[in-house]
Structure 1
Amino acid sequence: MSALILHHYPSSPFSEKIRLVLGFKQLPWKSVIIPSIAPKPDVLALTGGYRKTPFLQIGADIYCDSALICQVLEHGHPEPVLYPPHLKGVARVFAQWADTTLFWAAMAYNLQPRGAQALFANVAPEAAQAFGEDRRQMSTGMQRLRPPDATAAYRSYLRRLAHMVEEHDFTFGTEPCVADFAAYHPLWFTRQCVPVMADIFQATPAVLEWMDRVAALGHGRMEKFSAADAITVAAGAEPMPVVDDIFQNEHGIALGSRVTIAAESFGTEPTEGELIAATRTRYTVRRTDPRAGTVHVHFPRIGYVLKEVSS
């Protein structure tokens, strides 16, 4: 497998999830720091439209969404195991809940006025305003929890998580799995990015002890890398051949069609390209960029919308 290039920024919760997975697997990786808000021209050169964080680049293959990135890392580097065979179903279901329900409750709690004020305390007012406007645009049409409801939900979820990690070192046993990394990252944001909000953990000390165990896994072996160099890597590489897999055509859209793929809710900017794979777990489109050349951009099926481009 070619070098792993993670496009991320330090305070991104989903990036912390992947940084820890890289640490768990003790992998070397190249770190490209990207802007937290638009415009992101170097990002779009590789993804074609998708601008959520993080994404993983391997040569001329671009993997969007942390759930898919975890699967890609597991496939290329199967030890230690991220999806233990006896937990594969329950760990995936739990991780999906953590990446969605838990994440949005935590962030609605984290970014209520007291947390937002702390987060942007050392930032120019116009920068804080730009961040807020960017996230409003990315969440157009989303139903968001009000702070009191988010606080109540977050407390309940922390108690449930505490029940799990009081019995074991990690969520499902003595070793971490994908469920731990998915549950950890929104809590990490509370503790590390808006510590003024971290008093919510006082009732669940077992959660803090579990967080310390997850954090101790580290971030692997990171090397700084520039966006320009990452684009050069893509331009000089050929995308990996699409492995023959069963074409699951629930949409009536043939391979070779011009399509868009976009997230269902948050960050719905579409990526357009030629549909070259629609398997049980992912979509892949081929697209060409003047700077990055021909790339394959991959998305998970769950959480993403495939549409044919009208001629």
Structure 2
Amino acid sequence: MPDLILHHYASSPFSEKTRLLLGYKKLPWQSVIIPAIMPKPDLLALTGGYRRTPVLQIGADIYCDTALIADVLEHLQPEPSIYPEPEKGLSRILAQWADSTLFWAAMAHNLQPRGAAEVFANAPPEAAKAFGEDRGKMSAGNMTRLRPADAAAAYKSYLRRLSDMLDDRPFLLGEAPCIADFSAYHSLWYTQRIHAVKNILQLTPAVLDWMDRIKAIGHGSPAKITAADALAAARAAKPHTLLADSTFQDEHGIALGSAVTVRAESFGLEETAGTLVAATRTHYTLARMIGGGGEATGTVHVHFPRVGYVLRPAEG
């Protein structure tokens, strides 16, 4: 089993999703704690620009976005599967809804003024300002933000719908958790951490019971390492992807070997530049030199899911 290195921080909802997936798969992993806001020099030395949290590193392969990370973990440990048949497609669609629509409604509710005040209660005044400015730069004004009242109304509806799914089963699609459960859980987990806003969950007792079942999965037993250790592991390794599909699928008229950039469609718009070495039905892969430490040595492959990301030719 290769060493799995998760770059994350404790309060990151999407990191909680991945930590639980690692626990469910019973995969050993190594933990690198990264800053919640920029600058993130050690992480960007690996990704080349991508700064969302978390990032999974396996040697010189860097996997971005939890949708792709989940696929990697499924490849490494197929059982228990998080993509059950015959609901494999349904579980992925529900997970995508949860990671986007549900997440943004929940976070607008969570970080309304009284929620944000609690989150930053023990931090210096400039911390809240810096966090807001950082997240504003990630969206660059191109996202519609729900107002707290609108977010609460939507969030309550979504919680009721999840509760309906749990009427006669322990998990959203059956007797065992699937990718939809992990994706739906992490936004609610963040709500539950904030006393000022968590009462919204009391409206759906079945959802609270389901949350207890997901929480009980745990994170396994991660080993702590440093960012320097992670960079050294990348420099010492050669890229070797764990993504199963390899057939070139050209939707852009961009040939393999071209200089390109990849960025997220709507949140976290920083580009990663490199050489396109894979463009399949599920993912893009860019080859680039490792940065950091005043040098650029060794090659990493940075992997992105195809859905939700924009591929472009590099300018100039």
TM-score w.r.t. the length of structure 1 is: 0.98
- TM-superposed CA distance for 1:195, in Å, is 2.5
**Cα deviation code 1:45-83 (max 9, x no counterpart):** 000000000010000000000000000100111011111
Deviations 1:144-168 (A, max 9, x none): 1111111100000000000111211
SS at match of 1:57: strand
Deviation at residue 244 of structure 1 after TM alignment: 7.2
Question: Distance between the aligned counterparts of 1:45 and 1:276, measured in 2?
Answer: 19
Match of 2:222, SS state, is strand
One-letter amino acid of the structure 1 residue matched with residue 199 of structure 2: D
Q: Which residue identity lines up with residue 275 of structure 2 in the other structure?
A: E
1:67 partner SS: helix
CA distance in 1, matches of 2:93, 2:146: 22
The answer to whether the 8 A contact 2:46-2:291 is kept is no
Instruction: Report what 1:146 is aligned to.
Output: 147
Please tell me whether the aligned partners of residues 26 and 221 of structure 1 are also in contact (alpha carbons under 8 angstroms). Answer: no
Residues 1:244 and 1:147: Cα distance change in structure 2 (over 3 Å):
closer
Q: Deviations over 1:182-202 (max 9, x none)?
A: 00000000002x122110012
Q: 2:211 is matched with which residue?
A: 211
User: Structure 2 CA distance, aligned partners of 1:270 and 1:71?
Assistant: 23
Displacement of 1:243 in angstroms is 6.8
Supply the distance in 2 between the matched residues of 1:47 and 1:12 (Cα, whole angstroms).
18
SS at match of 1:276: strand
1:270 CA displacement: 0.4
Letter aligned with residue 56 of structure 1: L
**Which residue of structure 1 lines up, in the alignment, with residue 314 of structure 2?**
309
Counting aligned pairs with the same residue, the percent is 64
Say whether residues 1:27 and 2:27 are aligned partners. Answer: yes
Q: CA deviation at 1:4?
A: 0.4
Name 1:161's counterpart in structure 2: 162
Match of 1:172 in 2: 173
Q: 1:176 is matched by which residue type in structure 2?
A: P
> Relative to 1, partners in 2 of residues 1:131 and 1:75: Cα closer, same or farther, differing over 3 Å?
same
Q: Could you tell me which residue of structure 2 aligns to residue 100 of structure 1?
A: 100
- Secondary structure (helix, strand or coil) at the match of 2:238 reads coil
In structure 2, distance between residues paired with 1:107 and 1:49: 24
- Asked if structure 1 preserves the Cα contact closer than 8 Å seen for 2:245 and 2:282, the reply is no
How much does 1:289 deviate? 2.2
Cα pair 2:138 2:269 within 8 Å, conserved: yes
Note if contact 1:190-1:198 (Cα within 8 Å) is conserved in structure 2: yes
Residues 286 and 243 of structure 1: is their aligned pair in 2 closer, same or farther, counting only changes over 3 Å? Answer: farther
What residue is the counterpart of 2:132 in the other structure?
132
Contact 2:110 2:116 in 1 (8 A): yes
Task: Name the counterpart of 1:47.
Answer: 47
Q: 1:281 aligns to what?
A: 282
Q: Equivalents in 1 of 2:51, 2:298: separation in Å?
A: 18
Per-residue deviation, residues 130-149 of structure 1 (Å, max 9, x unmatched): 11110111111111111111
Aligned residues: 310
Once structures 1 and 2 are overlaid, which stretch shifts more, 114-123 or 241-250? 241-250
Cα separation, 2, equivalents of 1:61 and 1:303:
20
Gaps of 5+ in 1: none
Please, which moves more after superposition, 194-203 or 103-112? 194-203
1:190–1:197 Cα contact (<8 Å) kept: yes
What's the RMSD between the two structures over aligned residues? 1.2
Per-residue deviation, residues 8-38 of structure 1 (Å, max 9, x unmatched): 0000000000000011111110000000000
Structure 2 CA distance for aligned equivalents of residues 186 and 147 of structure 1 = 15
Query: 1:55, 1:64 within 8 Å by CA — same for their partners in 2?
Result: yes
Q: For residues 9 and 148 of structure 1, what CA distance do their matches in structure 2 show?
A: 29
Following the alignment from structure 1 to structure 2, what is the Cα–Cα distance between the partners of residues 255 and 143?
A: 35
Aligned residue runs from structure 1 range 201-280, under 5 A: 201-240=201-240, 245-280=246-281
Which 4+ runs in 1 deviate beyond 6 A?
A: none
Contact 2:245 2:280 (C-alpha < 8 Å) held by counterparts: no
TM-score normalised by the chain length of structure 2: 0.96
State the alpha-carbon separation in 2 of the partners of residues 126 and 145 from structure 1: 24
